[in-house]
Amino acid sequence: MKDIDIESYFKPDLKKARKRSRGTTEEVRFDLADAHEQIGLGKTYLIQTYGCQGNEADGETMAGILEMMGFTPAQDEMDSDLIIINTCAIRENAENRIWGELGRLKAYKRKNPDLMLALAGCMPQEEYVVERVLKTYHHVDLVFGTHNIYKLPEYIATAMFAKEKVVEVYSQEGGIIENLPKVRSHRFKAWVNIMFGCDEFCTYCIVPYTRGKERSRSKDEILAEVHELVKEGYQEITLLGQNVNAYGKDFKDKDYTFGDLLSDLDKTGIARIRFMTSHPHDLDQKTMRAMAEGGHIMPFFHLPVQSGSDKILKKMNRHYTKESYLAVLNQLKQTVPGIAVTTDIIVGFPGETEADFEDTLDLVERAGFDGAFTFVFSKREGTPAATYDDDTPLARKKERLQLLNEKINAAYLAGSKRFLGQTVKVLVDGVSKYDDQVLAGYSEHNKLVNFKGDSALIGQIVDVKITTAKTWFLLGETV
Ligand code: SAH
Ligand code: SF4
Ligand code: F3S
């Protein structure tokens, strides 16, 4: 493959990525050009996805496009003609895994020079990543970002026929692309994008730069997708967005927000509705009411708090305080009785003192979370927090994480125990990883439940009486 001048590539620019335009979002419909319809015939592909559910949904779109072009799924790396690494940039260790993976794949490329290797997702949206790939990872043929997945056919054609390296990353928002094909990875649970991007700019976070401005899909497109899923026999949808509570706030011609969407989706006949993720400061009454009234909206809420210290929350640009978060949480629990709430917490944000950390522990004690994802702060180049003074040694940050996790594990156990003796509804996912006599699935409150049963129950919602509560799962028997 011939290389062209590095400067001539369409590379990312974090400063541009920070800009937000006020114009209306352009909606484009995907259409595969006739010339691209058969270029994948006889060829196989493999997509390795890292990161959040948004990235998993993107991976399903890439698979959909490739299969329209004639590609078929590969058995493994050895058997692949095209490998796409769909990357995540959220923390340094997420990126380090991917650099390792890229290095490892070099050997496959040596064995099979026709193998096409592509880097996609959030990492290519970072300037330093594209520089590094161009300078040291010469075996990568194709680099594209989160805004131009729909151009995959064109890129593959160029890489295959012109034998040219393709690097094209757009830094400014991008519109909304509809009519994209998807190969869904699950038979009865589906991801449904309701919005893209994020305008929150939490000071530690790279996502507003990698995913562009907040833009909502039209309600009609979302409802049409869900009606189709119901027809195809899907049982559960998870609505996706970086901040689903901001859904519709960008509509200029109508007043239609997340609560309205939930109420409308509740009437589609889908058995279960979930969503990810919410920002506490955009969570409104309408959403809580829709959850209380909507029979198909699951009593589960992931509501990231990040810290319990008002000083740190301010430095993070989160727009709420410890007490106002707890007030919203209380209201949610009162409006939707029994709701399970989980959260995300970062320890060791620059300037976090022992007292700030104590505030976080205190918040966890008072919140009654059902669980949490916890992280040590990771410096992301280009974000404001990367420039903040940080004098806490990493070892102390790790100790804080350990202390926090002890509390969180106790919260998981308490969250499990509240279901002892109750009968819960479980959507059966499959057989347990550890015992093929045992089925595994999730309850309405998003608890993992294991029980003995026939594999014919996979894909169905069954009543299970809980007999044992463990920290990470529940055990039960069918009733
Ligand atoms: N949009 C979602 C998810 C963001 S990423 C939200 O706002 O909740 C998921 C989690 O990763 C965040 O909630 C945060 O806890 C964590 N995270 C994001 N950036 C991070 C960083 N630089 N260092 C450590 N954790 C981070
Ligand atoms: Fe990142 Fe904050 Fe946006 Fe979540 S809300 S994606 S943490 S900037
Ligand atoms: Fe990672 Fe991008 Fe999602 S950074 S968490 S894959 S939005």
Site to substitute for ligand 3 among 48, 50, 53, 55, most atoms within 8 A of C-beta: 55
**Which ligand 3 atom sits closest to the C-alpha of 210?**
2
Is the CB–ligand 1 distance for residue 377 below 6 Å? Answer: yes
DSSP assigned state of 29? E
Transcribe 366-387 into DSSP letters. HHT-SEEEEEE----TTSGGGG
**Which ligand 1 atom sits closest to the C-alpha of 241?**
1
pTM for this structure? 0.96
Site to substitute for ligand 1 among 90, 95, 206, 377, most atoms within 8 A of C-beta: 90
Say what the pLDDT of residue 209 is. Answer: 95
Helix (H) or strand (E) holding 452: strand 448-452
Residue range 383-441, pLDDT digits in tens: 999 999 999 999 999 999 999 999 999 999 999 999 999 999 999 999 998 888 999 99
The protein residue with its alpha carbon nearest to ligand 2, atom 4, reads 242
Task: Supply 24's token pair.
Answer: 């209306």
Whole-number Å distance, alpha carbon 207 to ligand 1 midpoint, is 8
Is the per-residue pLDDT at 460 higher than 60?
Answer: yes
Say what the pLDDT of residue 8 is. Answer: 65
Residue range 92-150, pLDDT digits in tens: 999 999 999 999 999 888 888 889 999 999 999 999 999 999 999 999 999 999 999 99
Q: Confidence band (pLDDT; 50, 70, 90) for 5? A: low
Residue range 225-257, pLDDT digits in tens: 999 999 999 999 999 999 999 999 999 889 999
Instruction: Residue 160: name the closest of 112, 124, 115 by CA.
Output: 115
**Which ligand 3 atom sits closest to the C-alpha of 90?**
4
Whole-angstrom distance, CA of residue 284 vs CA of residue 279 = 10
Whole-angstrom distance, CA of residue 91 vs CA of residue 99 = 13
Whole-angstrom distance, CA of residue 139 vs CA of residue 142 = 9
DSSP assigned state of 306? B
Whole-angstrom distance, CA of residue 199 vs CA of residue 148 = 20
Domains annotated on the chain, with CATH: 6-168 (3.40.50.2300), 176-367 (3.80.30.20), 423-478 (2.40.50.140)
Q: Confidence band (pLDDT; 50, 70, 90) for 20? A: confident
Q: What is the radius of gyration, based on Cα positions, of the chain?
A: 23
Q: Which residues face 374 on adjacent strands?
A: 345
Q: Do 266 and 296 form a contact (C-beta atoms < 8 A)? A: yes
Whole-angstrom distance, CA of residue 92 vs CA of residue 95 = 5
173 Cβ contact list (under 8 Å, min separation 6):
20, 21, 25, 147, 197, 212, 213, 215
Ligand index nearest the alpha carbon of residue 375: 1
3-state secondary structure of 459: coil
Say what the pLDDT of residue 296 is. Answer: 98
**Which ligand 3 atom sits closest to the C-alpha of 53?**
3
Ligand index nearest the alpha carbon of residue 59: 3
Provide φ and ψ at 355, rounded to 5°: -65, -40
Whole-number Å distance, alpha carbon 198 to ligand 2 midpoint, is 6
Whole-angstrom distance, CA of residue 417 vs CA of residue 77 = 43
Instruction: Residue 368: name the closest of 437, 319, 414 by CA.
Output: 414
How would you classify the pairing of strands 474-478 and 461-469? antiparallel
Residue range 343-355, pLDDT digits in tens: 999 999 999 999 9
Say what the pLDDT of residue 477 is. Answer: 97
Cβ-based burial of 344 (10 A; exposed 0-12, middle 13-18, buried ≥19): middle
Provide φ and ψ at 404, rounded to 5°: -65, -45
The protein residue with its alpha carbon nearest to ligand 2, atom 2, reads 202
Ligand 3: residues with CB < 6 A are 51-52, 54-55, 88-90, 121-122, 206-207, 210-211
The protein residue with its alpha carbon nearest to ligand 1, atom 13, reads 344
Residue range 167-199, pLDDT digits in tens: 999 987 768 999 999 999 999 999 999 999 999
As a whole number, mean pLDDT of residues 39-64 equals 97
The protein residue with its alpha carbon nearest to ligand 1, atom 5, reads 90
Whole-angstrom distance, CA of residue 348 vs CA of residue 269 = 45
379 Cβ contact list (under 8 Å, min separation 6):
92, 385, 386, 390
Transcribe 129-197 into DSSP letters. HHHHHHHH-TT--EEE-SS-GGGHHHHHHIIIII-B-EEE---S---EEES-----S-SSEEEEE-EE-
